[in-house]
Structures are given as C-alpha cells and as structure tokens.
Chains A and B, each alone.
Chain A
Amino acid sequence: MTQAVLDVRDVQKSFGAVTAAKDINVSVPEGAVYSLIGTNGAGKTTFVNMVTGYIKPDSGVINFAGRNITGMGPRQITRLGIHRSFQIAQLCNELTVEENMVVAATIHKSARPSFWRNAHGAEARERALATLERFRIAEHRNRLIPELSGGVKKLLDIAMAIAGQTKVMLLDEPTSGVAADEKFPIMDLVIEALRAEGVTVIFVEHDMDIVTRYSDRVLAFYDGRIIADDAPEEVLSDPDVQRYVTGGAA
C-alpha cells in the first residue's frame, strides 16, 4: 500500500463533559476513498472539523503528507490542499452560482487576488463555467443560492472546494438534504471526478448503500471512538457496528 497521506495519531477532544474524540488513530493512504459512519454525535463531524482546522484537538497529532498540521487554522490547511464540503452547504447567498464559483476559482488561483483586475472578466467567468459544467450545474449559473434545490447547493459547495489543487477531500454528509433520487447521481459525479484526479476522499454518510458502493474502507464511530476500521463488508457485518451504528436506529 502507498504511504499514508493523512495520518491521525492518538487524537483526543472533549467539549466539557462530552467526549467528542477518544484515541482516534486513522491512517489514510493516498487515493483511497474512506467513509465515516456512526449515529449523530458519534464524532464524525468532529473528526472532519479537526482535520480541517475548525477545532483543535486537545492532544494528539495530525500529519498531512508527512507534515504536522495539528493546530493550523482552516485557511492554512486549505492552502495545503485539504478541502472540505459542509453538512449544510456553505455558500454566499447574495451572489449568483457563477459568482460563487468565480470567488472560489479566484482564491484557489492565487493567494493574492488582484485589486485591479475585474472579477467579472471573460476569462474568470469561463473558468468558473467550466467547473460548473463539469458538475452539471451550469444551467443555474445566473440564479441566486436561495432559489436552488438541495442537490444543486451540495454540488456547488463541493465544486467550490474542488476548484483548487485538492489532495484530500472531506465531504461532510454529501447527500443530506438531497432528494432520494439525486443521491446516487451526485455521488457518481463527485466520486468519479475525485477519483479521476487521484484525490484522497473521506466522506461522512448515513446511507449504507452509498457507503458500500463508493468507499474502499469504512470507519465506524461510536461515542467519540472508532469501533471498526475495515473494508465495507467487514465493518457492516461487525456485531458492534450492527448494534451501535446500523442496527436499531437505521
């Protein structure tokens, strides 16, 4: 197996009396697609938030491509190539779809955006349009965000994150808030695009069909701990996982 691009060692995090992460050890090889499962509050989003710098672990180390990124902020981590999408799509509601994309493309292109060059120029718009087309949402380019369906919002959210040189992509519940018949098409589109570029993917998901279909490996979270870390079939047949994650509630 290739070298781990993301290596999480002994990470702990608690919010007051609540343990959100306990003894988290994960090693993700380059180009792999991992999924995170678990009930709400099991620690999946906490994991994503810690890797992307939104919250800092109480202890432990997170390494990215051999570099210690523990304690860095979202901006620095994003600049290194770890990108993410959000459970609730994070978009700019007062801007159009195209403008959202232009913002993303502009920032990804250069750390020092121009104070002079017009952001609405033909070149910038074309570049944005290309990405929108790739994610099949170009038809919505002149619409404002609140008018969009859940699926389009999710795709735009992901497209904005991918506009850069993504090395690791963390998708936080990419299919939540998406109509049932759109879930697979969206995942097809996204995972295909990411796999094509050799991006390492970690996605949080509640739908076990999606988990088995798209991921190489599954991490099952329960009560802030990882209780299983294996291939999808193995994890889903694990009695603990059936008891605490997939059984009962699901």
Chain B
Amino acid sequence: MRTNLMLSAVGAFVLLAAGAVLLPDWAMFLCAMALAKGLVSLGIVGMMRGGLVSFGQGLYYCLGAYTATLVAGQLGVSDIFLLTLLSAGVCLVVGALFGPLLAGYRGIFFAMLSLALSMVLYGTLAKLTVLGGTDGLNIGAPTFFGWDPEGRALQTALYLYVAVLVVVAGTLMRIYFDSEQGLITLATRDNELRVEYLGASVRTVMSYNYVFGAVLGGIGGTIAALALGHVDPEFAFWTTSGEFVFVAILAGYLSVPAVFVAAIILEMVRSFSNLYFPNTWQLALGIFLLIVIVVLPNGLGSLVRRRKGDAT
C-alpha cells in the first residue's frame, strides 16, 4: 500500500544525491541551507494543516542551533548524528512544554504568542555575553562517526546528510498527514466544534503538530549552524521566522516535496537578487508572496497534488 510512497522517497533521495555530484560548491551549500530551512517550514506546514501558523519557528531553529553549538563547544562533541539527536531532544522537551500551552490559542493569538517566545529567546541571547551576545558563537566542522572530512568532502557529506534527513522526515510527515490523526488535523482546521463534538481533543491535535514542528525546527537549526559554522541570535529574530512562514505559504499544505522546492526557490532568489539587485530583493519577494496568495492560495503543492473532490 505504501509502495508508491517508498518509491517516491527513494526517487527523491536519488535526485538529491545527484546534486552531490553535479552541483558546484556554492550551489551545494545553498541547497543544504535551503533544505535545512525547508525542514523548519515543513513543521509549519504540519501546523497549517490544523489551521495554525506559527510566526515563531525561529525559536526552535535557534534553540537547535545553539544547543548543537554549545554541546560541540563545551562538551567537545563533534559527531553530527549525536548533535542532531541532542538538539532534536532539547527542542522536543521545550516543544512539549510550550505545545499544550499554546495549543489553546488560535489564529493571530497563536501566531503572536509563538512569535513572542522566539523574541524572548532572541532578546536573552543578544544580552548574554557568555553566549557571545549579538555576535553569536562559532561551531567547528562536524564529524561523521569518527570520519573527519574537509573541503569538498565535508560539503558533500553535510549535503548528503541533510538529503537523508529531508527524505526521512518528509516520508514520516507524509505518513502522518495521511494517517487517522492527520485526517483529524485537517478536520480540525475546517471545523473545531465538530471535532470536539465527535469526542476528539482539538488541543491534543494542535499540541502534537506543535511538538513535531519544534523537533523539525531544531534539526533544521542544527544543520544550518553546522553549514554556516556560526550561530547568532538572528536565528530567533522574527524576520527569520517570517521566511519560514513564507516558504510554508509558498508551498501550501498539500504536498511535502513542494516545501523543499519552495525553500530552494527562496534561497536561490535571495542569493541571485543579493548579487544583482541588493536593494530590491525584498520587493521582489513581497510581490512574489502577493502573487502566490492571490493565484495559488493553496501554494505550489496544489499544482501537483489536488484534494479529492476538487476535480468534480
């Protein structure tokens, strides 16, 4: 029954892995960053399926990044798997703490509260001189089960690692989206009252989505920190979170691969515009966002995947 899904997963990985051979260094770095950020946006998409949009995923992106950096710096851990696991774990705990609390809020209030939390982290980190203040901290190159690559090999290894994470996380989220709980999430987005009156807890639905978003955010942040070799409080700033939302909106909630396509598009538009029109790239982005909202209200995903019943 899941053969198609598995085949798509393998196909997606082959496609991404081909990039490791074909892409020049700069493009591989760009793609690795885009995929890492795509993971964060995938978490927002999960929440969007329940009708919530978090404007504060920078919280977990930053938390994951700082956890990895501190563990690497203080405890001398450089193994990428361990770092990812630890960051994801910290974000899981924090997410499980805030999730049930935030799950009681809707619409703008959820968006603003999640944003407030990320700004609290931003404000704290910017003032904490032990953690580098606004300058942030550096993190060394990761190792892979003791293997310690350099140069292009390191780039490639990091890129392939993100590719694996993206495929695994994407597949798991697809299974979740199509599951019983996933369908109840969609129903919640539509009509909370109905869901409560069927006997399911809307709060629980939202809490799970929030926690998944937190873990994905933490993993994305860890990868970004390792790819950049540096973290700073801007990871938690609201404009960073805004970009994650941008990607989620661009992708829509229907298709998982669309999230990563959208993330790569954004990252490409950004780097090209930065190069050629440094003063108008936000302008282009804004117009682009408006067009997506008007023309493709369900995002890029609606181009490849339709909801049942739309065809009739």
Judge A-B direct contact (beta carbons within 8 Å).
Answer: yes
Report which A residues bind B (CB closer than 8 A).
Answer: 52, 73-75, 78-79, 83-84, 90-96, 99-100, 102-104, 106-108, 111, 113-121, 124, 142-144, 147, 160-161, 164
A92-B187 CB under 8 A given contacts A75-B199, A78-B199, A103-B198: yes
CB distance from B92 to the nearest CB of A (A): 15
A95-B190 CB under 8 A given contacts A117-B179, A119-B179: yes
CA distance A92 to B194 in the complex (A): 8
Q: Are B309 and A79 in contact (CB under 8 A)?
A: no
Which of chain B's residues have a CB closer than 8 A to the CB of A121? 1
Which of chain A's residues have a CB closer than 8 A to the CB of B191? 90-93
Q: Are A73 and B198 in contact (CB under 8 A)?
A: no
How many residue pairs at the A-B interface have CB separations less than 8 Å?
A: 113
Closest to B307 in A: A94
Q: Are B175 and A94 in contact (CB under 8 A)?
A: no
CB distance from A76 to the nearest CB of B (A): 8
Q: Is B23 an interface residue (CB 8 A)?
A: no
Q: Are A104 and B196 in contact (CB under 8 A)?
A: no
Which of chain B's residues have a CB closer than 8 A to the CB of A117? 179-180
Which of chain B's residues have a CB closer than 8 A to the CB of A103? 183-184, 187, 195, 198
Which of chain A's residues have a CB closer than 8 A to the CB of B182? 115, 119
Closest to B189 in A: A94
Please classify the interface of chain B as helix (H, G, I), strand (E, B), loop, or mixed, using the class held by over half of its residues: helix
Which of chain B's residues have a CB closer than 8 A to the CB of A143? 309, 312
Q: Are A74 and B179 in contact (CB under 8 A)?
A: no
Q: Is B282 an interface residue (CB 8 A)?
A: no
A91-B194 CB under 8 A given contacts A75-B200, A108-B199, A164-B199: yes
CA distance A104 to B194 in the complex (A): 9
Q: Is B193 an interface residue (CB 8 A)?
A: yes
What are the nearest 8 A-B pairs in CB distance? A92-B190, A113-B180, A119-B183, A78-B199, A90-B194, A107-B198, A96-B309, A103-B187
Can you list 10 A-B pairs, Cβ within 8 angstroms, ordered by A? A75-B196, A75-B197, A78-B199, A93-B191, A94-B190, A99-B183, A107-B200, A108-B199, A113-B181, A121-B1
CA distance A94 to B193 in the complex (A): 15
Report which B residues bind A (CB closer than 8 A).
Answer: 1-2, 175-176, 178-184, 186-187, 189-191, 193-201, 208, 307-310, 312
Q: Are A120 and B184 in contact (CB under 8 A)?
A: no
Most buried by A among B181, B183, B189, B193: B183
Q: Are A78 and B197 in contact (CB under 8 A)?
A: yes
Q: Are B181 and A111 in contact (CB under 8 A)?
A: no
Most buried by B among A93, A95, A108, A142: A95
Which of chain B's residues have a CB closer than 8 A to the CB of A106? 180, 183-184
CA distance A99 to B178 in the complex (A): 12
Closest to B198 in A: A107
Which of chain B's residues have a CB closer than 8 A to the CB of A74? 193, 196-197
Q: Are B194 and A118 in contact (CB under 8 A)?
A: no
Contact of A142 among B1, B176, B312 (CB under 8 A): B312
Q: Are B1 and A118 in contact (CB under 8 A)?
A: yes
CB distance from B6 to the nearest CB of A (A): 13
Q: Are B197 and A90 in contact (CB under 8 A)?
A: yes
CA distance A93 to B308 in the complex (A): 12
CB distance from B211 to the nearest CB of A (A): 12
A96-B179 CB under 8 A given contacts A74-B197, A103-B198, A108-B198: no
Q: Are A114 and B181 in contact (CB under 8 A)?
A: yes
CA distance A98 to B41 in the complex (A): 30
CA distance A115 to B200 in the complex (A): 14
A73-B196 CB under 8 A given contacts A92-B186, A118-B1, A144-B309: yes
Which of chain B's residues have a CB closer than 8 A to the CB of A92? 186-187, 190-191, 194
CA distance A84 to B186 in the complex (A): 21
* Known contacts A92-B194, A95-B183, then 4 further A-B pairs from the complex at CB < 8 Å, ordered by chain A residue: A90-B197, A93-B190, A95-B309, A143-B312
CB distance from A8 to the nearest CB of B (A): 19
CA distance A113 to B184 in the complex (A): 9
Q: Are A95 and B187 in contact (CB under 8 A)?
A: yes
CA distance A96 to B307 in the complex (A): 9
Q: Are A114 and B179 in contact (CB under 8 A)?
A: yes
CA distance A92 to B50 in the complex (A): 12
CA distance A79 to B213 in the complex (A): 29
CB distance from B76 to the nearest CB of A (A): 36
CA distance A92 to B191 in the complex (A): 6
Which of chain A's residues have a CB closer than 8 A to the CB of B1? 118, 121
CB distance from A218 to the nearest CB of B (A): 25
Which of chain B's residues have a CB closer than 8 A to the CB of A104? 198
CA distance A115 to B197 in the complex (A): 21
Most buried by A among B181, B189, B193, B198: B198
Q: Are A75 and B179 in contact (CB under 8 A)?
A: no
